Amino acid sequence: MDFSIKAFDTKNTIASAKTGCVAVAVYENKKLSLAARAFDQGGEITAALKSGDITGKAGSTLLLRGVTGAKAERVLLVGLGADEDVSEKSFTTAIGATLKAFAQLGAADAIIALPMMEVKGRDLAWAVRAIVCAAHESVFRTDGQKSKKDPAPTGVRKITLAADFVDSKTKIALAQAEAIANGMDLTKELGNLSANVCTPTYLANTAKKLGKDYGFDIEVLERKQLEALKMGSFLSVTNGSEEPPKFIVLKHMGAKKSDAPVVLVGKGITFDTGGISIKPGPAMDEMKYDMCGAASVLGTFRAIGEMNLKLNVVGIIAACENMPSGRATKPGDIVTSMNGLTIEVLNTDAEGRLVLCDALTYAERFKPAAVVDIATLTGACIVALGHHNSGLFTRSDDAHEALAAELLAAGKEASDTAWRLPIEEAYNEQLKSNFADLGNIGTPGGASVTAACFLENFTRNYTWAHLDIAGTAWKSGGAKGATGRPVPLLSTFLINRT
> 115: cis peptide before it, omega within 30°?
no
Q: Residue 363 and residue 264: Cα distance in Å, rounded?
A: 9
Per-residue buried b or exposed e for 279-312, using 16+ beta carbons within 10 Å of the residue's own CB:
eeeeeeeebbbbbbbbbbbbbbbbbbbbbebebb
Q: Residue 180 and residue 488: Cα distance in Å, rounded?
A: 6
Catalytic residue among 74, 353, 395, 485: 353
Q: Residue 64 and residue 24: Cα distance in Å, rounded?
A: 11
What's CA 28's distance to the chain center, in Å? 33
Total number of residues shown for the chain: 498
Catalytic (active site) residue 279: yes
Catalytic residue among 279, 330, 420, 480: 279
Q: What are the residues facing 468 on neighbouring strands? A: 375, 391
Q: Residue 360 and residue 80: Cα distance in Å, rounded?
A: 46
Q: Residue 456 and residue 393: Cα distance in Å, rounded?
A: 9
Q: Residue 352 and residue 349: Cα distance in Å, rounded?
A: 8
H helix count then E strand count, the chain: 15, 19
Angle at 74 between CA 72 and CA 76, to 5 degrees: 120
The residues that are catalytic are: 279, 353
